Amino acid sequence: MASSLTLPAVGLGVYRAAPEECYESVLKALKLGYRHIDTAAFYQNEADVGRAVRDSGIPRSEIWVTTKLWIDDIQGPGTTTAAFQKSLRLLDIGYIDLYLIHAPADGGRRLEAWKEMEAIAKQGLTRHIGVSNYGIKHLEELLAVATIKPLANQIELHPFLQHRDLVAFCQKNGITVQAYSPLTKARKLNDPVVVEVAQKVNKTPAQVLIKWGLQKGAVSLPKSVQEGRLKENFEVFEWTIPESEIAKLDSLEEGLVTGWDPTIWE
C-alpha cells in the first residue's frame, strides 16, 4: 500500500445503485475527476465498484475507496475479519482506503468488531478505519478503548438535519464528518430558501446543499447515476456561499431524517 492519498472532499455514493448502473456511474464519475467512491457490503455492488476502478485506467493509488461492515455480519470472534475479507475479494483492488462500521451494533458486538478492525488496519489491508451513524455516546464509548482513533464518522447531514452537537464533538476529537444524503434524497431541492440562495450565487440547489456541507468542514457524498448530475455535483470548488447566505441555510434545521438515524440507538 504505497498510497499517501488523503480523503477527497467530495465522493460518489452508490447506495441502491444496481450492478451495471453502479459500474457505469463510477466510471463516468472517475472520468469527470472524482477520486472518492463510497460503497458498502449492504449495497451489494462492491464488485461493480472494483471493476470500474480497475477499468478506469487511473492508478489505484489515486482513488479513495470506502466500504462498510454490515451490522448483521458481526456475529462473534472472527466474523468482522471474514466480512472484511469478503469485501476485499469482491472489490479486487488490492486494499481498501477506509473501512467503516455501517451502524452501531449493540455495545459488545461493536467494540469486538472495532478490535478486529484495528488488527486489519495494522496488517495494512485497509489504510484507515472509521464508523458510520455513530452518536456521541457511541463515539465516547469507542474512544475510551480504541488504540486507533476512527478517521471518520459518516452521518446523514444537510441544512435540514445538522447534528450540531455531534458534528462539534467529531471536530473537537479530530474525527472527519462525512455527509451522506447531502441532497436530502431530492426532497428539499425546491425549498424556497435553498432556491433563493442558489439564485444569489448563480448555482443549482444541489450544488448549494453540497457546498453548505463542505463549508461546514464535512466531506460530501452525493449520489447520482446521471452524467449531467455527476458533473453538476462535482462543480463545487471554485466558489463559496457568503456567510449571510449560510446563515439562511442554517435556519432550515427541522430534524429531517430521509432514511434511518442509528445515532440515537443504544
Q: What is the dihedral of CA 11, 213, 5, 223, to 10 degrees?
A: -10
Q: Which of 129, 149, 110, 116 is nearest to 66 (CA)?
A: 129
Q: Sign of torsion, CA 261 221 203 236?
A: positive
1 closest CA partner among 61, 73, 44: 61
The residues that bridge with 128 in the sheet, in sequence order, are 98
User: Which among 23, 34, 43, 180 is annotated as catalytic?
Assistant: 43
43 among known catalytic residues: yes
Q: Where are the beta strands (DSSP E) in the chain?
A: 12-13, 36-38, 64-69, 96-101, 126-132, 152-156, 176-180, 219-221
CA dist 106 and 32 (Å) reads 40
How far, in Å, CA of 116 to CA of 139, rounded?
17
Sign of CA dihedral 227, 32, 6, 211: negative
- Residues catalogued as catalytic: 43
